[in-house]
Structure 1
Amino acid sequence: MASIVIAQTTVDDETKAYEIARGAVEARLTAGVHVDARMTTFYWWKDAVQHEREYRLSFNTTAEKADALRAWVHERHPHEVPQWIVLPAAGTSQEYLAWVVKETTAE
């Protein structure tokens, strides 16, 4: 039986965030993507604490599509080491699960 996961990444450019979101839906690798409002991220990079403004993308997809989605996103991602986190979506309704499966398998 299929299951839903939420895959997340961040990008620092709004246009790029929208481009990746729309392209992933068009490629049928995700049923939908949330592009969250701009946020500030702090992290270690090259031996120093960095910060930048970013947009988080949350992809609603199936566990079966997660690896293909990761490869597709990473090919288009502007960061040298893109964030990629996959979270299980527990308690998903059967109706929503059916929609996600349909939208990620339709031709």
Structure 2
Amino acid sequence: MSEVLQVYTATDSREAAQRLAQGAVRARLAAGGQIIGPVESLFWHEGTFGTGQEWQVVLKASRGQYQELESYLKAHHEWANPEIIALPVIAGSEPYLAWVRGITARTDEPQRE
């Protein structure tokens, strides 16, 4: 198993998804991200069944940065209890996995605009 994760969260707008993904990638908490949406969601919230459109954020991260990435997402998410889950990448192209590990290992380098 690699040390690479795919970290998921969801928001209620494309703009919020872009802010979360861009902030995480600029901070090198994730090597890259994708925004998917809108997607139709069905859920229970505070005892009520609901539906709605959401935008899914998928971040490519390393296991060593996960706690900091989770903290970032919680601090910058608009929801009080957002979905934040991490799934391990069990196999992948070694150059790609090395890229993810390399980008997220260099959090002390200056950010480029």
TM-score band by shorter chain is: over 0.9
The residue matched to 2:37 in structure 1 has which SS?
Answer: coil
The residue matched to 1:25 in structure 2 has which SS?
Answer: helix
The answer to whether 1:100 aligns with 2:100 is: yes
Aligned to 1:35: 35
The residue matched to 1:38 in structure 2 has which SS?
Answer: strand
* Identity value in percent: 27
Tell me the C-alpha RMSD between the 2 structures: 1.3
Aligned to 1:62: 62
Aligned to 2:3: 3
C-alpha distance in 1 between matches for 2:27 and 2:97: 19
Instruction: Give the CA deviation at 1:5.
Output: 0.5
C-alpha distance in 1 between matches for 2:79 and 2:89: 26
C-alpha distance in 2 between matches for 1:9 and 1:67: 14
Q: Deviations over 1:34-60 (max 9, x none)?
A: 101211111111111011110110110
TM-score (norm 2): 0.89
Aligned to 2:48: 48
The residue matched to 2:6 in structure 1 has which SS?
Answer: strand
Q: State the 4+ residue runs in structure 1 displaced beyond 6 angstroms.
A: none
Query: Are the aligned partners of 2:2 and 2:91 in contact in 1 as well (CA < 8 Å)?
Result: no
TM-score (norm 1): 0.94
Aligned to 1:23: 23
- Number of equivalences: 107
Aligned to 1:87: 87
**What amino acid sits opposite 2:19 in the alignment?**
E
Aligned to 1:78: 78
C-alpha distance in 1 between matches for 2:50 and 2:67: 29
C-alpha distance in 1 between matches for 2:31 and 2:102: 8
Instruction: Give the CA deviation at 1:2.
Output: 6.0
